[in-house]
Amino acid sequence: MTLDDVARRAGVSTATVSRVLNDAPSVRPATRSRVLKAVTDLNYLPNEHARTLAGGRSRVLGLLVSNIENPFFLDIYHALEDAARTLAHEVVVASTGYVPEHLASSIQHMRARRLAGIAVIVSEIDADLAGQLVHSGMPTVFYDAPRLDRMPPNIAADYRTGMHRCVEYLRGLGHRRLAFVGHHTSLYPLNARQAHFVEIVAKARPALEYRIETSDDSPEGGRLATRALLASGFRPTAIVCVNDFMAIGVVRELLDQGLGVPRDVSVTGFDNIGLSSYTSPRLTTLDIPRARIGTTMCDLLVPEAPGHTGRPTDIVITPELIVRESTGVARS
Amino acid sequence: MTLDDVARRAGVSTATVSRVLNDAPSVRPATRSRVLKAVTDLNYLPNEHARTLAGGRSRVLGLLVSNIENPFFLDIYHALEDAARTLAHEVVVASTGYVPEHLASSIQHMRARRLAGIAVIVSEIDADLAGQLVHSGMPTVFYDAPRLDRMPPNIAADYRTGMHRCVEYLRGLGHRRLAFVGHHTSLYPLNARQAHFVEIVAKARPALEYRIETSDDSPEGGRLATRALLASGFRPTAIVCVNDFMAIGVVRELLDQGLGVPRDVSVTGFDNIGLSSYTSPRLTTLDIPRARIGTTMCDLLVPEAPGHTGRPTDIVITPELIVRESTGVARS
DNA sequence: CCACAGGATGTAAGGGCTTACAATCGGCCT
DNA sequence: AGGCCGATTGTAAGCCCTTACATCCTGTGG
């Protein structure tokens, strides 16, 4: 079934069929309906490849994330997809799993596919790849990317302020021995959240003791990091986690070692994923408005979007501290 | 940058460039490297649309799931993607959210994109849509689809046996008042797991009391269903959940209402998602080998796959009961 | 030294669609 | 009725690749 078949059946030219399929103006209603009938009669479905090849544009957005298993990314994906759907766009995701090679190859695929735009949320991206993306000509938007000279719109979270709120809150509860559980990120020298934790904790007075442990971005990673931490003999009264996903495993391991949360050890997460209020105890965390991030990305990428400004606006999000049950006063 | 540019730069014809790009045999090594050099010099990337249009085949698999937020589907996606990657294939997912309209439109998109094959795991699919898919000519594989006359390979789980094991286990612990928490599925008359629960419980002797409550496929859905259940005055000593994802919310609500798990109420899940051993208490559940499902789907779909037989083999998986901490003897 | 078999390339015809530009059409005016 | 104009529709040139088929080498055997 091709355009020609439809044209023949409707007794018009392929141009006309194409016009009604793309609802272009100036097609007489009678003609339009005749074509539409032929289309349904033949159960015709345009070939997307031919379409974008000829038209030069696709209606597909790409989303590049580090770890789709982490609900944080999944939520952004959802928001982006919903926003895209209202604009008749699709979105394809690629999860790099923090592996630079996967990142590079995913970028290749997306470029080869001439996507309408691409949203990038991978902490492991370096200036090189980011630059390559920007210069490829595709509309691009980054979330928390390393800053380049000539940058496209960037959505950033003020992790410094967020982390500051978290640490201050814990200090206020009397915690003086902290640990940070992070995840391995390949290229970005230090995970931004981790870097700010170190910076803030290091300059706190009276001085705070602290320790860092990293593992995979998963509950199991959180558990392993915690196990290593405790095995080292360091006894934090509070553990700050790079995100909720890992915090789930941190809490699990603590409980398994007979430590009460927050009785013996307080735990904080980051992101405020849905799951964080279903754990026992519920997680104290820092909220990041993921839906807003996804929607904004769509606005920035798609010209037809209602919120599209055209200007490469930078947007900054400040995490809010959400206190729940996993934190309490430090055990003396 | 097009094939022509590369050809011109390398001083060969486009046919030759195409040959080296698809590593066809019979290209002199010297020529090959000359072309390769031109490719990297020009930073050339073949246009996928032109490629599949001309070649008539794409190397992209489609995966259609009900709810990508549920780790059950996510795990299958991962397995499928890994398997596909080794065969130089990509996979794009579409999540229907149990909305039939989304299902239909996703199928359209996938057909329009002339995918290399499509894997379907949506409980809400009906014979009509399934048939349409099968007749579209694309290789298709279903997981737990309603049976059709002329069916493509189907992977099925023996939910009857699984549910039987679960109910027998609970009966053995003395439970006589059970509840089932399921999720809304639009078309499949009754969710298969739910149907088997009812069937098994109804014919148990001595008779069992039971009640069904459904909501969304999410922790929040589990919580709401449980709230409704308890509000109705029915006091189950055990709650069987359609899946782990919802069970998380069920446990949460129980705890919030001051009920101990499993002290006052036992809870079972289904799927054995990773998260199920990170909750407190850890969930007793029925394991479904998700990785195997994903891998098998790839084998069935891609001719080059190592496990590809060609024959439309039907595969049946039997869920294994995994006893953990969320179940115990019934409170007398 | 010549004819030949292959191997290595080039030629060109699509693949299914969009779209600039040309050709028609109908209706209005005077 | 003749002429003019905008609304419709058709024509055909691509978009960028793959591939069947034709052509041109090369080395080999005789």
- pLDDT, tens digit (0-9, with 9 covering 90-100), for A150-189: 566 778 889 999 999 999 999 999 999 999 999 988 655 5
Tell me how far apart the alpha carbons of residues B100 and B96 are, in angstroms, rounded to a whole number: 7
Token pair listed for B125: 């699919």
Tell me how far apart the alpha carbons of residues A108 and B90 are, in angstroms, rounded to a whole number: 12
Whether pLDDT at B189 is above 60: no
Mutation for testing the A interface, residue in B1, B44, B49, B52 having most A CBs under 10 Å? B49
Closest to B190 (Cα-Cα) out of B163, B165, B218: B163
Helix ranges (H only) for chain B are 3-10, 14-21, 29-42, 48-55, 71-86, 100-112, 127-135, 159-172, 192-202, 219-231, 244-256, 290-301
Tell me how far apart the alpha carbons of residues B72 and B35 are, in angstroms, rounded to a whole number: 45
Looking across all nucleic acid strands, the nucleotide with the smallest C1' to CA distance from residue A55 is C18
Whole-number distance in Å between A20 CA and C13 C1': 29
Token pair listed for B310: 């060609």
pLDDT number for residue A189:
54
B261 to chain A: closest CA residue: A280
What is the CATH code for B159-288? 3.40.50.2300
Helices and strands of chain A, counted as H and E runs: 12, 12
- Is the Cβ of A114 closer than 8 Å to some Cβ of chain B? yes
In our burial notation (b when 16+ CB lie closer than 10 A, e otherwise), range A114-146 reads: bbbbbbbbbbbbbeebbebbbebebbbbbbbbb
Q: A66-88 pLDDT, tens per residue?
A: 999 999 999 999 999 999 999 99
Chain A residues 266-285 with a CB less than 8 Å from chain B:
274-275, 278-280
- Is the Cβ of A113 closer than 8 Å to some Cβ of chain B? yes
Closest to A237 (Cα-Cα) out of A322, A173, A194, A147: A173
Whether pLDDT at A200 is above 80: yes
Q: Does the C-beta of A105 come within 7 A of strand C?
A: no
A71 to chain B: closest CA residue: B69
Task: Test B114 with A48 for CB contact under 8 angstroms.
Answer: yes
Question: Mean pLDDT, to the nearest integer, of B20-38?
Answer: 92
Question: How far are the Cα atoms of B43, B77, B329 from residue B94, in angstroms, in the given order?
Answer: 32, 10, 42
Residue B147: DSSP 8-state: P
**Segment among A242-251, B20-29, B320-329 with least mean pLDDT:** B20-29
Rg (CA), chain A: 25
Q: A273-289 pLDDT, tens per residue?
A: 999 999 999 999 999 99
Tell me how far apart the alpha carbons of residues B61 and B294 are, in angstroms, rounded to a whole number: 12
- Is the Cβ of B92 closer than 8 Å to some Cβ of chain A? yes
Q: Which residues of A touch B129 (CB under 8 A)?
A: none
Question: Mean pLDDT, to the nearest integer, of A99-126?
Answer: 90
| CB of B130 closer than 8 Å to CB of B107 | no
Whole-number distance in Å between B72 CA and C26 C1': 62
Closest to A307 (Cα-Cα) out of A316, A298, A315: A298
Question: Mean pLDDT, to the nearest integer, of A207-219?
Answer: 95
Q: A235-280 pLDDT, tens per residue?
A: 999 999 999 999 999 999 999 999 999 999 999 999 999 999 999 9
pLDDT number for residue B187:
58
B60-157+290-317 under CATH 3.40.50.300, yes or no: no
Task: Test A219 with B274 for CB contact under 8 angstroms.
Answer: yes
Token pair listed for A86: 């209202």
Ranges for all domains in chain A classified under CATH 3.40.50.2300: 60-157+290-317, 159-287
pLDDT-based confidence at residue A125 (cuts at 50, 70, 90): confident
pLDDT number for residue B148:
61
Task: Test A58 with B49 for CB contact under 8 angstroms.
Answer: yes
**Segment among A187-196, A290-299, B77-86 with least mean pLDDT:** A187-196
Pick the CATH number of A159-287 from 3.90.1300.10, 1.10.3720.10, 3.40.50.2300, 3.40.50.720: 3.40.50.2300
Ranges for all domains in chain B classified under CATH 1.10.260.40: 3-46
Note the residue count of chain B: 332
% of chain A exceeding 70 in pLDDT: 95
Residues β-bridged to residue A240:
A180, A268
Q: Does the C-beta of A48 come within 7 A of strand C?
A: no
Tell me how far apart the alpha carbons of residues A245 and A239 are, in angstroms, rounded to a whole number: 14
Ranges for all domains in chain B classified under CATH 3.40.50.2300: 60-157+290-317, 159-288
Chain C footprint bases within 7 A of protein beta carbons? 7-12, 14-20
Q: Where are the beta strands (DSSP E) in chain A?
A: 60-65, 90-95, 117-121, 140-143, 154-157, 177-183, 209-215, 238-241, 266-268, 285-287, 315-317, 320-322
Whole-number distance in Å between A47 CA and C14 C1': 16
A3-46 under CATH 3.40.50.970, yes or no: no
- Amino acid identity of B154? N
Q: Does the C-beta of A25 come within 7 A of strand C?
A: no
Whole-number distance in Å between B37 CA and C4 C1': 35
Tell me how far apart the alpha carbons of residues A215 and A198 are, in angstroms, rounded to a whole number: 17
Rg (CA), chain B: 25
Closest to A46 (Cα-Cα) out of A61, A35, A62, A34: A35
